[in-house]
Amino acid sequence: MATFAYEAIREPGQPVKGEIEAEDVHSAAAALLQRGYHVLTIEDADAASAHRRRPRLGLLGGLKHRELVRLTRDTANLLKAGLPLSQALVTLAGRSTNPGWRSVLGGIRARLEDGQTFSQSLSAYPEVYDAMYVNLVRAGEESGKLVEVLMRLAEVGEKREDIRARVKMAMVYPAVMLTLGAVTVFVMLSFVVPMFVGVFRETGQVLPLPTRILIGVSGFFKAWWWAILLGLPAPIYGLMQYAKSERGKHVLGAMILRLALLGELVRKTEVAGFSQTLGTLLGSGLPIVNALSITASTLKNPGYGDAVRAMGLAVRDGGLLSEALAKQALFPEMVSSIVSVGEQSGDLPGSLEQLAEENERDVDRHVKVVMTLLEPLMIIMLGLIVAFIVLAVLLPIFNIGDTIQV
């Protein structure tokens, strides 16, 4: 008997993790199915304990999502050309210049040769292949349409990359402007303005209020600029750690949704992701309750994840998806209306795909609006700060001229 670690879903909500003893991985999966679990991932417990040392998908892990999308499409093309799956993985590993991907592809091939299915092999790398990916591959294996499923996964991944690129484009510009503006103001207050303070004091005149305010702020920066630079990483690190906690994710997620421009962009992005993911899962034959649970885990904003889990509970109890959607304030009324049409016509995946395409177009339009509005707003804000500094420096100079004339 061996011990296997698993992640599974028994009802809509967070996936549950545990361990089970069985002769092999197939017996373990069968035992979990008999208990009413929908298995997401299952593997040897010793291998599970080593996950933290494996390459992860993300910027710091060395494995990027766009590379996963490309590998998925390449795998589908090689299989379509008639190559066996094991040989296709060897070919892809040979092409890859990333040692992390070579390790992952080699591990998947080794598991295939040990008798595991492709989906079981992928489930050994949950940091790279999420529940949606694994379940769609499993559905493709069972239906004999693995190539079509991989092509579909590549298309969904490419659309996600497009949406991410648009959102990043809307956020990078203001971030760069704020950073440059903050550095400029910091240098002026710490090193430039203090050069004028001695001149102002030598005149003996009563300094205007803006100048006194500027001198006070400048004095603080001049005296404590080193402490500011040394202490700045601490709150940034604390905020990052707080953002990783469950409470932090919910609090910050709710705050973002309340922002005027960024909040609306996040809403449209999450609705597009919800529609695309759920439509893809339903179109591949997954039960709607399981599809909703998996979809909830793919959404970035915790508020939307909680809303989709609540929908899963309502649908499990016999309600319609459109009715559950109508009760969720985060989703526009149009979403429930389109889903209702899909339920009545019997083509819910098609309606969700249409909804996803419409929201993707909305994201594109909203990004353009955000970029159009943010650029002048940032310029005006930074201009006002610089104008205040210049005015505070010039006012005493003008007063000196008036004193000399008198």
CATH of the domain at 29: 3.10.20
- Can you give the CATH number for the domain in which 300 is found? 1.20.81.30
At residue 77, does pLDDT exceed 90?
yes
**Considering Cα of 193, then 198, then 202, then 208, what sign does the dihedral take?**
positive
Banded pLDDT at 315 (limits 50, 70, 90): very high
303 vs 181: which has the higher pLDDT: 303
Predicted pLDDT of residue 326: 92
216 vs 26: which has the higher pLDDT: 216
In this structure, the answer to whether residues 356 and 243 fall within a common structural domain is yes
Give a yes or no: residue 353 inside a domain: yes
CA distance 368 to 361: 11
Predicted pLDDT of residue 51: 45
Give a yes or no: residue 348 inside a domain: yes
pLDDT digits (tens, 9 = 90+) for 383-406: 888 888 888 888 877 766 555 554
Banded pLDDT at 53 (limits 50, 70, 90): very low
Least confident of 108-117, 199-208, 260-269, 308-317: 199-208
What is the number of structural domains in the chain?
2
381 phi, psi to nearest 5 deg: -60, -50
For residues 252-274, average pLDDT:
86
pLDDT digits (tens, 9 = 90+) for 122-143: 888 888 888 888 888 888 888 8
For residues 13-18, average pLDDT:
68
In this structure, the answer to whether residues 46 and 163 fall within a common structural domain is no
Q: Residue 2 belongs to what domain range?
A: 1-53
Give a yes or no: residue 22 inside a domain: yes
Helix pair angle (85-95, 65-80), 10° resolution:
140
> What average pLDDT does the chain have?
81
In this structure, the answer to whether residues 41 and 188 fall within a common structural domain is no
Residue after which a domain boundary falls, among 53, 75, 94: 53
Residue after which a domain boundary falls, among 36, 53, 70: 53
At residue 349, does pLDDT exceed 70?
yes
DSSP letter at 63 equals B
pLDDT winner (highest mean) among 97-101, 203-207, 280-284, 330-334: 330-334
CA distance 318 to 26: 32
DSSP E strands: which ranges in 74-135? none
Burial class of 195 by CB neighbour count within 10 A (0 to 12, 13 to 18, 19+): exposed
Give a yes or no: residue 130 inside a domain: no
pLDDT more than 70, % of the chain: 90
For residues 356-368, average pLDDT:
83
Least confident of 189-203, 276-290, 299-313: 189-203
Any residues with CB less than 8 A from the CB of 3 and at least 6 apart, and which? Answer: 19, 20, 21, 44, 45
In this structure, the answer to whether residues 196 and 339 fall within a common structural domain is yes
Give a yes or no: residue 398 inside a domain: no
For residues 79-100, average pLDDT:
88
For residues 199-203, average pLDDT:
71
Give a yes or no: residue 241 inside a domain: yes
CA distance 212 to 195: 15
Predicted pLDDT of residue 331: 92
Give a yes or no: residue 260 inside a domain: yes
